[in-house]
C-alpha cells in the first residue's frame, strides 16, 4: 500500500522489567495481505500486564512466546482498512489481537478478531468495561469467585482496570467491597468515585492487620491480581469456605527463577477454601453474553473507569512501564494519530 | 458403674511429632452420665492423622484444641452400654466422636454419633470404606476433584486409607490412576491388589520426572494428602484446567512455624487450575448418601483395604506413631478387648 508502518519488534527477551532493551521501533512498509488476512489501522493499543508474557520465553507460560524479530502482540481497537477475509470489510470497527504498530495484520481464523459497535458512547470502553478486562472481572467475581449478596469481597491491585471493575461488579452483586491499592490517592478514588466500601493502602502499614480490622467476619471472596505477600495477608483473613479468584500474580512477573508460594497455603485446608486460576482468552467467546449483563450497570453509571491515554505509538514503551511502577490508575491505552476515522 | 476406664489424656501440647511426651494413660472409674450422654464401650479406635490437630493449639487450626487434662478425642466404633439420650439405647452399634479410652462418653446433640449396621461383613469397614475416609475419598474424587472418565488421576500418600480408597474410586469413575507412595512394597500393593494403573515411589528418584513419564498429557486430577515437594512435583505436571483436591498437608503437620507454600503455585494461572480444600466433618451428614454409591463397588470387590490392627488400648500411642513414620499401609486401628459384644 506504500504507506509507512512503524512497528515495535521484539529483538531480545526482556530481563526482569527491562523492556526498553527488548524492543525496537522499526519503520517499514505496510505488509501485503494474503488470503485470510485483515489490515487494521490501529486507533488504540491496549496495554496489558500479560503482554510481557508473550515477550518472555518463560517455561510453562500460558502463551507461546513471540518469536524474536516479530512485532509485539497486543489487543488493539481499530478500523479495518483492507480485508482478504470474507467476514470483514473495510470500515468495520474491530477489537483484535494485533500488533504494537500503526497497522495490525490479523488472521481472524487464527486469532481473536471481533467486530464491535461504533455507537458506544466512549469507544475506549471496548478495551475496558466491554473487553477482556470487563469479562475477566465479571467472571472472576461471579463464576470463579462465586460472590453472593451480603458477602465480603476484597480485591488487590484495585485501582487497575480489572481490579476496579471487579470491585464495582461485586458491589452490583450485593457484596461489601474492599480494595487494596498502593497510595492514598488511589484509595480515595476507590472509595470516592468508584463507591468501594473501604480501601487498604498496602504502603500504609501491615495489610493483614488492616484487613483483619475491616473484615472481622473474614473475607468471603478474594480476587487476586498480585500474589506474593498481599495474597498471604488475605489468606490469613479468609472466612470458612472462602473463594480465591486468582486473576494475576503481578508480584511474580519479571522475577527470575522460582518465587516462593504463599506461606499461608495451609489455609486452603483450615478454611476449606477454593482457589481458581483463570485467563481471559479462555472465555472470549462469552464476551457478548457478559456484555449484556454489564451494559445496564454501565448505563446506570455503576461501572466507572479512568483512562490513562498516551498519545503516539513512539511513546508505547514509556506508557507500558507505568503498568508496573504503580503510577497507573485505571486503563492504560496508547492512542494513535487520527483514531477511528 | 464401678468398672475401670483407662483413658489417654493430653497433658501437654506435642512438640513436633513427640506425642509420647504429650499424653498419659490414666486409670479411673467410668464416668457417671448426665442427661444427653451416651456411654460407649469402644471396640475400635480409628487412628487418624487429624487427631493431632486436636492435640495442638495451633493458630488457625480447623478444630478447637482439646483442653489440657482432657481425654484425646478420636473417632471410635463401639456398643452403647448406657444411654441418657432418647435416640440411643444399650446395644446400639455406633460410630462416634469418642475418646482414646476403654469407654467413650459422647453427647449426640453436640458431637458426631451415628448408629451403624451390625450386618456389615467386616465391621472395621465402618471406620474405613463406609466412614469418614470413604466419604472424603469419594467426594474428593467426584466433587472436589471433578474426576471424569478418561482422565488421568494422581493421588499422594496412596497407600494410606484415604489415598487407597480415592484411587480405587477414581478407577470406578473411569480414570487412569497413578499412586504416589514411599516404598516398592507399597507400590506393589497399589498396582497389584488395588489395581492402580501405575505407582511412583517417591524414594526412588525425582517425582516430577516420574510423573512426567507416566502422564505425558498431564494430570487432570491431583488428590493431595501431603503438600510439600510432592505437591510441587504434581503442580509442574498438571494438564490445562486440572483440579487439585487438597485433602491433607501431611508434610506440614508437626512442623513448627510457617512452612513455605508451593513453589509452583503460579501453575494455578498458567494451567487455569482449581484447588479445593476439604475436611470430612463438613460432610458427615452426607455419609448415608455416599455409602449408597460405595456399597455396590465394595460388594463387587472394587474397594479393597488393608487393616493394621494393634491390640490393646495401652499400645495406642505406638500404633499412632506408625501413621507418620511411613510404616503403615491402609487403615490403622486399635482393637480393644472383647470388641462388639
The pLDDT of residue B321 is above 90: no
What are the extents of the domains in chain B? 4-124+306-335, 132-281
- In chain A, residues with a C-beta closer than 8 Å to the C-beta of B255 are none
pLDDT value at position A130? 98
**φ, ψ dihedrals at A101, nearest 5°:** -165, 170
pLDDT at B15: 84
**Per-residue pLDDT tens over the stretch A295-308:** 999 999 999 999 99
What pLDDT band is residue B255 in, cutting at 50, 70 and 90? low
| CATH hierarchy code of domain B4-124+306-335 | 3.90.180.10
pLDDT of residue A255: 66
Between β-strands A93-99 and A73-83, what pairing exists: parallel, antiparallel or unpaired? Answer: antiparallel
CA distances (Å), A105 to each of A23, A29, B290, in order? 19, 12, 56
Percent helix / strand / coil, chain B, rounded to 5: 30, 30, 40
Q: Which CATH class is domain B132-281?
A: alpha beta
Radius of gyration of chain A (CA): 20
pLDDT-derived band of residue A58, with 50, 70 and 90 as boundaries? low
- The per-residue pLDDT for A1 is 47
- Give which of B260, B266, B282 to mutate to test A binding, by max A Cβ within 10 Å: B266
Residue whose cell numbers read 513453589: B263
Q: Which of A102-116, B6-20, B61-75 has the lowest mean pLDDT?
A: B61-75
- The mean-pLDDT minimum among A198-207, A330-339, B136-145, B146-155 falls in A330-339
The residue among B208, B241, B269 with the most chain A CBs within 10 A of its CB, best to mutate, is B269
pLDDT of residue B261: 87
Q: Is the pLDDT of residue B17 over 80?
A: no
Q: Which of B264, B270, B277 sits opposite A272 (nearest CB)?
A: B277
- What pLDDT is stored for residue A64 in this prediction? 76
Phi–psi pair at B286, nearest 5 degrees: -95, 5
Q: Which of A54-58, A239-243, A330-334 has the lowest mean pLDDT?
A: A54-58
pLDDT tens-digit series, residues B25-36: 999 999 899 999
- Which region among A54-63, A87-96, B179-188, B230-239 has the lowest average model confidence (pLDDT)? A54-63
Residue labelled with grid coordinates 461504533: A118
pLDDT band at B103 (very low <50, low <70, confident <90, very high): very high
Is A276 within 8 Å of chain B by CB? yes
pLDDT of residue A61: 60
CB-CB contact of A292 with A279 (8 Å):
no
Count CB atoms within 10 A of the CB of residue A121: 7
Residue B151 pLDDT more than 90? yes
Residue A94, classed as helix, strand or coil, is strand
CA angle B198, B199, B201 (to 5 degrees): 155
> Is pLDDT above 70 for A286?
yes
| Confidence at residue A338, expressed as pLDDT on a 0 to 100 scale | 61
- Using CA atoms, how far apart are residues A309 and A47, in angstroms rounded to an integer? 10
> What pLDDT digit, counting tens, does each position of B191-209 carry?
999 999 999 999 999 999 9
Fold that domain A4-123+306-335 belongs to in CATH: Quinone Oxidoreductase; Chain A, domain 1 (3.90.180)
Residue B8 has pLDDT above 80, yes or no: yes
Question: DSSP letters along A137-170, please?
Answer: HHHIIIIIS---TT-EEEESSTTBHHHHHHHHHH
Does the CB of A262 have a partner CB in chain B at under 8 Å?
yes
Asked if B265 and B235 count as a contact pair (C-beta separation under 8 A), the reply is yes
Rounded CA Rg of chain B: 20
What's the whole-number average pLDDT of chain B? Answer: 93
Mean pLDDT, residues B265-283 taken together: 95
Confidence of residue B1 (pLDDT cuts 50, 70, 90): very low
Q: Is A266 on the interface with B (CB under 8 A)?
A: yes
**Cell triple for residue A123?**
469507544
Beta pairing, strands A238-246 & A219-224: parallel
Residue A65 has pLDDT above 60, yes or no: yes
Interface test with B, best of A237, A255, A269, A279 (most B CBs within 10 A): A269
Query: Which chain A residue shows the shortest CA-CA distance from B252?
Result: A266
CA dist B248 and B243 (Å) reads 15
pLDDT-above-90 percentage for chain A: 82
Could you tell me the three cell numbers for B146? 471433578
Please report residues of B whose CB lies closer than 8 A to that of A261.
260-265
Partner-chain contact B276 A273, CB within 8 Å: yes
Helix (H) or strand (E) holding A273, with range, is: none
C-alpha torsion angle, residues B86, B88, B91, B95 (rounded to 10): -170
pLDDT at B60: 58
Residues within 8 A of B (CB atoms), A 106-165 only? none
- State mean pLDDT over B139-159: 98
pLDDT at B2: 61
Q: Which of A279-283, A288-292, A336-340, B38-42 has the weakest average pLDDT?
A: A336-340
Positions of E strands within chain B: 4-10, 23-29, 38-46, 73-83, 93-99, 103-106, 113-115, 152-155, 176-181, 198-201, 219-224, 238-246, 274-277, 307-311, 331-335
| Smallest Cα distance from B205 to chain A, Å | 21
Q: Which residues of A touch B258 (CB under 8 A)?
A: 263-264
A106 vs A86: CA distance, rounded Å:
13
Give the CA distances from residue B332 to residues A310, B55, B160, in Å, rounded to whole numbers and listed in that order.
Answer: 67, 19, 9
Q: What's phi and psi for A334, nearest 5 deg?
A: -105, 130
pLDDT of residue A327 exceeding 80, the answer is: no
B60: contact with A, CB 8 A cutoff: yes
Same CATH topology for A4-123+306-335 and A132-281?
no
At residue B59, the pLDDT reads 58
Amino acid at each position: 500500500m506504500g504507506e509507512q508502518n512503524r512497528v515495535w519488534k521484539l529483538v531480545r527477551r526482556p530481563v526482569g522489567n527491562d523492556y526498553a532493551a527488548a524492543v525496537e521501533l522499526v519503520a517499514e512498509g505496510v505488509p501485503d495481505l494474503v488470503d485470510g488476512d485483515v489490515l487494521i489501522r490501529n486507533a488504540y493499543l491496549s496495554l496489558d500486564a500479560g503482554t510481557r508474557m508473550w515477550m518472555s520465553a518463560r517455561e510453562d507460560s500460558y502463551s507461546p512466546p513471540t518469536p524474536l524479530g516479530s512485532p509485539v502482540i497486543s489487543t488493539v481497537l481499530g478500523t479495518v482498512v483492507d480485508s482478504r477475509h470474507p467476514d470483514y470489510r473495510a470500515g468495520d470497527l474491530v477489537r483484535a489481537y494485533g500488533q504494537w504498530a500503526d497497522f495490525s495484520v490479523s488472521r481472524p481464523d487464527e486469532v481473536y478478531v471481533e467486530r464491535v459497535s461504533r455507537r458506544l458512547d466512549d469507544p475506549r470502553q471496548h478495551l475496558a468495561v466491554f473487553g477482556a478486562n470487563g469479562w475477566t472481572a465479571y467472571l472472576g467475581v461471579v463464576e470463579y469467585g462465586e460472590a453472593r449478596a451480603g458477602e465480603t469481597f476484597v480485591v488487590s491491585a484495585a485501582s487497575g482496570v480489572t481490579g476496579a471493575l471487579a470491585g464495582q461488579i461485586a458491589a452490583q452483586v450485593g457484596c461489601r467491597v474492599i480494595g487494596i491499592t498502593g497510595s492514598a490517592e488511589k484509595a480515595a478514588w476507590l472509595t470516592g468515585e468508584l463507591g468501594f466500601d473501604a480501601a487498604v493502602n498496602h504502603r500504609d502499614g501491615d495489610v493483614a492487620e488492616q484487613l483483619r480490622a475491616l473484615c472481622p467476619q473474614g473475607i468471603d471472596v478474594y480476587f487476586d491480581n498480585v500474589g506474593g505477600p498481599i495474597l498471604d495477608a488475605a489468606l490469613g483473613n479468609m472466612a470458612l469456605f472462602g473463594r480465591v479468584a486468582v486473576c494475576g500474580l503481578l508480584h511474580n512477573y519479571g522475577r527470575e527463577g522460582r518465587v516462593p508460594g504463599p506461606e499461608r497455603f495451609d489455609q486452603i485446608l483450615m478454611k476449606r477454601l477454593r482457589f481458581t486460576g483463570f485467563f481471559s482468552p479462555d472465555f472470549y467467546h462469552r464476551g457478548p453474553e457478559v456484555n449484556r449483563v454489564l451494559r445496564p450497570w454501565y448505563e446506570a453509571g455503576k461501572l466507572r473507569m479512568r483512562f490513562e491515554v498516551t498519545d503516539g505509538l513512539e511513546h508505547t514503551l514509556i506508557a507500558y512501564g507505568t503498568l508496573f511502577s504503580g503510577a497507573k490508575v485505571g486503563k492504560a491505552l496508547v492512542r494513535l494519530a487520527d483514531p477511528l476515522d
